[in-house]
Structure 1
Amino acid sequence: MVDLELRRVRYFLAVAQELHFARAAERLHMAQPPLSVQIRKLEEEVGFRVFERTSRNVALTEAGRVLLAGARNAMDELQRAIYSGQQTERGHSGHVRIGFVSSGGVTFLPKLLRQLRNNLPEVHTTTRQYSSNGALEALAQRSIDLAIVRTPFVGEKLQHRPILRDRVVLALPDDHPMCRRKRIRLQEMQHESFVMYPPNEGHAAYSVVQRACLAAGFSPLVAEFVDDVYGILGLVGAGIGVALMPAAISRLSVDGVVFRPLPEVAERFELSLVWRAEDDRRLISAVVEVLAKVGGVLGSHTVGDHRGE
């Protein structure tokens, strides 16, 4: 195997482009005699002449033309490798696996991923939906690199950044008598049955609903526990019960469901980005910075009269 010095390849490419030793030497900021010496050494290393030289002309040999094509490809690959290495070092390139809870997946996750593509186009992502507990478990097992989960959460050796605090809204069947009213007090729903996230799989969301109802003076009657946002809204649309949801969900069009604001409710649904504390890759910190900024822009949602079409 021939061991070529990179600088000699550069010298060869310069002469091959100029087909003139003096101009090539000037371009390389060196004298012509040393350049000629380096080209002769390159020819000794490869075992064939790369240039035909006369007193007036310099031309590539047939073997030199073959070497030129390969050398150009090699230098292009090297430049791409250097660039990719630099992007990786800066955290601007790589692959990130993201787990998310269902409510985030159908509301603002598309905005987050779009912003990520715009800011870090060479970072590739794969996503998968989990419950909050499932996402944290996948994070601990290294099945994913980053999780979007409800806050608060329980987990060891994790870091997190809050990205969204969302108002609580009421989801009602569209034939419910209260739908005729634009404003409803949560206290008025104390005799209703609620469709809720299960306490074991959606503890944070479950706790928000419990605290909001207790602050309104009652403990919610549970009709069903469902761990998926579309499952909850499907049961609401079927008339099984009502539900307290993040305001961002009110942007969805769900058949048979109406949303109403609850301005007196102080509780908020919170989402955070979570990652392993030991994962100090610049890629992760760069992704977190981009996504956290988008979360801050999204802020807290409000809700009007959104009826499933």
Structure 2
Amino acid sequence: MINLELRRLRYFLAVAQELHFARAAERLHMAQPPLSLQIRKLEEEVGFRLFERTSRNVALTEAGRVLLAGARTAMDELQRAIYSGQQTERGHSGHIRIGFVSSGGVTFLPKLLRELRKSLPEVQTETRQYSTNGALEALAQRAIDLAVVRTPLVADKLLHRPILRDHVVLALPDDHPMCKRKRIRLQQMQHEMFVQYPPNEGHAAYGVVQRACLAAGFVPSVAEFVDDVYGMLGLVGAGIGVALMPAAISRLRVDGVVFRPLPEVEQFFELSLVWRAEDDRRLISAVVDSLANVGGLLVSRRRSHASESSAKTIKR
């Protein structure tokens, strides 16, 4: 196997392009005699002449033309490899697997992916929907690298950064008598059946609903537990019950469902990026920083004082 010095290939490419040793030497910022010496050494290494030299002309030999084609390809590949390595070192390249809960997929995932394509175009993404517990388990098992879930939550060895804090709205069947009112107080819904996030899977969202209802003076009666925003809206549209949901969901057009604001409710739904504390790859920090900026545009103005910019450790 022949071991070629990279600099000699660079010298060869310069002479092959200029077909003039003096001009090639000037381009390489070196004297002509050392350049000629390096070309002769390269010819000795490869075992054939690269150039036909006369007092007036320099021309590639047939073998030299073959080497030229391969050398150009090799140098191009090397430059691409160096660039890819630099991008990876900076966290601007690589593959990241993202898990998300259904409400995050509706409200945030499209903006997340658009921002990644814009700010980190060489980062490849793979996405998959989970329940909250499923996403945390996938993180622990290293099946995904980043999760978009409702917080706060209880989990070991994880970091999170809030990206969306959204106020609470009421989802009603469109034939509900209260739909005629533009302003509804949550206390007025105390005798209704509620479609709720389950306490075991979506406990962060479940806690928001429980605290909001308790503040209004009642414990909500449960029609059904559903850990999927589409399933919840479907049950509301079918008249099974009402639901408290993030305001971002109200942008959806769903047959049989209307939304009403609840301005007196002080609770809010929080969506966060979550990742393993031990995962110190620059790719993770670059993606988190990029996506946190997207989230900043979505934070409810009413509660924008919250510390969505700081990463926090989640402990049991």
The answer to whether TM tops 0.5 is yes
Q: How do 1:44-123 residues align onto structure 2 when only pairs under 5 Å count?
A: 44-123=44-123
RMSD of aligned residue pairs (Cα, Å): 0.9
Q: Which residue of 2 aligns with 1:9?
A: 9
Q: CA deviation at 1:301?
A: 7.5
Tell me the equivalent position of 1:192: 192
Deviation at 1:45, TM superposition (A): 0.4
Q: Is the 8 A contact 1:170 1:259 kept in 2?
A: yes
Residue 313 of structure 2 is matched in structure 1 by none
Q: Is the 8 A contact 1:248 1:301 kept in 2?
A: no
Q: Secondary structure, in 3 states, of the residue corresponding to 1:106?
A: helix
Q: CA-to-partner distance for each residue in 1:247-289, whole Å, 9 max, x for gaps?
A: 0000111110000000000000001111000000000000000
TM-score (norm. length: structure 2): 0.95
Name the amino acid aligned to 2:288.
Answer: V
- Output the CA distance in 2 between the equivalents of 1:243 and 1:119: 36
Counterparts of 2:26 and 2:146, CA distance in 1:
52
Structure 2 CA distance for aligned equivalents of residues 298 and 193 of structure 1: 30
Matched residue SS, 1:147 = strand
Q: Deviations 1:160-194 (Å, cap 9, x if unpaired)?
A: 11111100000000000000110100000000000
Query: Which whole-Å deviations, capped at 9, do the CAs of 1:89-108 have from their partners, x for residues lacking one?
Result: 00000001001110010122
Q: Secondary structure at the match of 1:241?
A: coil
Partner of 2:172: 172
Equivalent pair of 2:51/2:59 in contact (CA under 8 Å): yes
Q: Partners of 2:10 and 2:101 in 1: how far apart?
A: 53
Cα distance per residue 1:54-101 (max 9 Å; x no partner): 110000001100000000000000000000000000000000100111
8 A contact 2:165–2:298 mirrored in 1:
no
One-letter amino acid of the structure 2 residue matched with residue 186 of structure 1:
L
1:297: how far off?
Answer: 1.2
Aligned to 2:234: 234
SS at match of 1:113: helix
Q: Deviations over 1:35-68 (max 9, x none)?
A: 1110010000001001000110000001100000
Instruction: Answer yes or no: is 1:162 the counterpart of 2:162.
Output: yes
Tell me the amino acid that sits aligned with residue 114 of structure 1. R
Q: Determine helix, strand or coil for the equivalent of 1:48.
A: coil
Secondary structure of residue in 1 paired with 2:107: coil
How far apart in 1 are the matches of 2:300 and 2:112? Answer: 15
Question: 1:133·1:202 contact (CA, 8 Å) conserved in 2?
Answer: yes
How far the C-alpha of 1:300 sits from its partner, in A, is: 1.5
Aligned to 1:135: 135
Distance 2:164 2:121 in 1: 24
Aligned length: 302
- Cα distance in 1, alignment partners of residues 202 and 36 from structure 2: 74
Distance 2:114 2:269 in 1: 23
User: What is the alpha-carbon distance in structure 1 between the residues aligned to residue 198 and residue 156 of structure 2?
Assistant: 22
Q: % of aligned pairs identical?
A: 87
CA distance in 2 between counterparts of 1:159 and 1:104 reads 18
Deviations 1:94-133 (A, max 9, x none): 0010011100101221011101110000011111111111
Matched residue, 1:287: 287
Tell me how far 1:201 sits from its aligned partner. Answer: 0.7
Matching residue's letter, 2:64: G
Q: Which residue of 2 aligns with 1:20?
A: 20
Counterpart-to-counterpart distance in 2, 1:29 and 1:264: 74
Aligned equivalent of 2:299: 299
Unpaired runs of 5+ in structure 1? 303-309
